[in-house]
Amino acid sequence: MATRTNGAGEYGGAPRVPDSKGHRADPAPRPAGTAVLDARPAAGNGTAPAQAVDARPAPPPDRRGWLRRKADQVLDRVDTIGLSRALLKEAAGLARHPVATLGALSRYAAGTLVAAGATTARLAGAKSEGPVPVPAKDRRFADRIWDDNAIFFALLQLHLLRERLAHELIGAAGLDEQAARKARLASQLLIDATAPTNFLLTNPIALRRAFDSGGLSLARGARNFLEDYRLRGGSPRQFDGATFEVGKNLAATPGQVVYRNELMELIQYAPQTATTFAVPLLCSPPWINKYYVMDLAPGRSFIEWAVKHGHTTFAISYRNPDATMRDVAMDDYLLRGPVEAARVIREITGAPKLNLAALCLGGTLATIYLAWLAELGRDEVNSVTLTNTLIDFTEPGVLGNFVDEQTQATIGRLMARDGFLDASAMARAFHLIRANDLIFNYVNNSWLGGEDPPAFDLLAWNDDATRMPAMMHAAYLRSCYLENQLARGEMVMAGKRLDVARVRQDAFVLAAVDDHIAPWRSQFKTTTLLGGATRFVLSNSGHIAGIVNPPSKNAAYWTNDRLLGDPELWLAGATQRRETWWEEWSRWIDVRAGERVAPPAMGSAAHPALAPAPGVYVMGK
């Protein structure tokens, strides 16, 4: 098994060591006790992950009292993002603003009287509207029984009144914007959890199904609940796990692992056309979850699409971190990820340049890579495709609720103990963002309705979660979300201060209109930050479904050749096209991919095939 060394960095000089923000300073002796990846290229292909040296210096003394430490330990585990603390702040704010609080409570009381009157009228056969209209897009209450039955109408109106009260109380508390956003998320979660659809006796659809099935749906629902409690700690199952298998019907595009180091495997995909474009394509995925979101089920795989359209395609598959990787930094992901992958691709194909296609965090890293190359004066990349990627983090959407200083401190304490941020903590955070879709929807259908979850490849991928190394993740949250260093030209990576305006490659920037992770208007700012010609395309659907966008009758996207600098002006002048954006991307990338030539060999003498795709690292749990 390979071990870490203290050799020189890849580009000469002393090895780079982490500073207090998780970057590497150039050059400096490595402090005793740090455990980081060697920045040099591995000799040959490498065979296995390196082992960390767990000899870190002792942490500074904890000056919190015993009771505070114990309370923080409990809250860190059960409430990583600080929702309970946000509600306590809201309660304190309401106590400081009694007049505004009483006003909100008075409006709630008046609303209940109106709802009671409307319910009485409906019981008498009259049609009377309630005080709060039902949101048109709320599928939970789409069945007509919520309007036709007076009792269920009353339950719905009381739920909507509680929701309105919760929103008004946040306004009455006089909180700052960050605290108000987090309190809004917490209170909305409580309101959604107590919705009448989540309880058998107040869910008319579940009651109807129980009656129609002679109670069989209740028996099945009880079975589903007990299985979820036993196997998943009470989290409802979202998909049929028996349907999908990585390497069979997920991540199934044929290929070979042609390189491996302690951080990633590089997969080369077998050509499926007689000739291929001369410029190879490197796919840079995020390492939050696994790479095969870019190679999902056959017919729904972006990588398969690229291969079938004549691109010699490679993809990075990152290792699932464990405690031995606690001191791996963002610099390591740069140097041991795309930098090393590009070197191997050049050696295998003989091509002097490559095209990059990157997603989410992998797109942020791809932009860092291009800016870093610009500082070195190296011209190794011909074009870049950034899909659902943030470069400017000023307005990060709902994820902004999770990256304030207090939450950063909580996550830091968790990672200091474990060496990583556990996948379950990230999964809980993402589920809370869309609790109705990702939690309560399955409570209704599976536990109350007795239905088995569907077979859905995206949810199977989403459940195959990964951990995040402590040093890297702390640096990423601070440098990007808290300080917006990349967009401001203040990020230092592998010894270079980065300026994204020096990235002059042609860029295809793809956003999704319903993206809640990387809001499309924030992604639009990329068009004014990069220094090259940019093509901005807006896809339908959300963060992941907008990427997994094969040809279908529902596929659509918007384009506008005039960027104008303002997303609203761009959208007002955009044209909708009823096809997948993959078609638009193919037309764009083909003219930047060189001539058609004979496909290169799979691997080379220096980089022979190590394992069939999808490789070893993707199987790591």
What is the structure's pLDDT at 38?
46
Pairing state between β 381-387 and 354-359 = parallel
Q: Tens digit of pLDDT for each residue in 517-559?
A: 999 999 999 999 999 999 999 999 888 888 899 999 999 999 9
If you average pLDDT over residues 397-410, what whole number do you get?
A: 82
Q: Tens digit of pLDDT for each residue in 307-363?
A: 999 999 999 999 999 999 999 999 999 999 999 999 999 999 999 999 999 999 999
Tokens coding 575? 């044209």
What one-character-per-residue DSSP string does 320-365 give? ---GGGTT--HHHHHIIIIIHHHHHHHHHH--S-EEEEEETHHHHH
Which part of the chain is CATH 3.40.50.1820? 255-402+467-619
DSSP 497: E
Cis geometry, peptide bond prior to residue 614 (ω within 30 degrees of 0): yes
Select from 449, 291, 298 the least CA-distant residue to 357: 291
If you average pLDDT over residues 5-14, what whole number do you get?
A: 32
pLDDT band at 35 (very low <50, low <70, confident <90, very high): very low
What is the structure's pLDDT at 49?
41
To 5 degrees, how large is the angle CA 483–CA 486–CA 489?
Answer: 100
Lowest model confidence (mean pLDDT) among 231-235, 378-382, 590-594, 595-599: 231-235
Query: What mean pLDDT is reported for the chain?
Result: 88
Q: Tens digit of pLDDT for each residue in 560-599?
A: 999 888 999 999 999 999 999 999 999 999 999 999 999 9
Select from 475, 261, 478, 495 the least CA-distant residue to 371: 495
Distance between CA atoms of residues 149 and 127, nearest Å: 11
Q: Rounded to the nearest 10 degrees, what angle do helices 177-193 and 423-433 cross at?
A: 80
If you average pLDDT over residues 248-277, what whole number do you get?
A: 97
Q: Where are the alpha helices (DSSP H) in 216-360?
A: 216-232, 302-308, 330-334, 340-349
Q: Would you say residue 33 has pLDDT above 80?
A: no
SS3 385: strand
Q: Which residue has the higher pLDDT, 253 or 67?
A: 253
Answer yes or no: are the C-beta atoms of 89 and 179 closer than 8 Å.
yes
Answer yes or no: are the C-beta atoms of 372 and 498 closer than 8 Å.
yes
Provide the whole-model pTM: 0.84
pLDDT band at 426 (very low <50, low <70, confident <90, very high): confident
Q: Would you say residue 11 has pLDDT above 90?
A: no
Q: Would you say residue 31 has pLDDT above 50?
A: no
If you average pLDDT over residues 36-53, what whole number do you get?
A: 42
pLDDT band at 240 (very low <50, low <70, confident <90, very high): confident
Tokens coding 202? 């107040």
What is the structure's pLDDT at 78?
64
What is the structure's pLDDT at 95?
96
Kindly report the length of the chain.
Answer: 621
If you average pLDDT over residues 231-240, what whole number do you get?
A: 87
No. of helices (H) and no. of strands (E), the chain: 23, 19
| Domain 255-402+467-619 falls under CATH 3.40.50.460 | no
pLDDT band at 4 (very low <50, low <70, confident <90, very high): very low
Active site residues: 360
Q: Would you say residue 372 has pLDDT above 50?
A: yes
Distance between CA atoms of residues 68 and 78, nearest Å: 15
What is the structure's pLDDT at 42?
43
CB atoms within 10 A of CB 595: 8
What is the structure's pLDDT at 14?
32
Distance between CA atoms of residues 116 and 119, nearest Å: 5
Answer yes or no: are the C-beta atoms of 496 and 523 closer than 8 Å.
no
pLDDT band at 407 (very low <50, low <70, confident <90, very high): confident
Q: Tens digit of pLDDT for each residue in 453-480?
A: 888 999 899 889 899 999 999 999 999 9
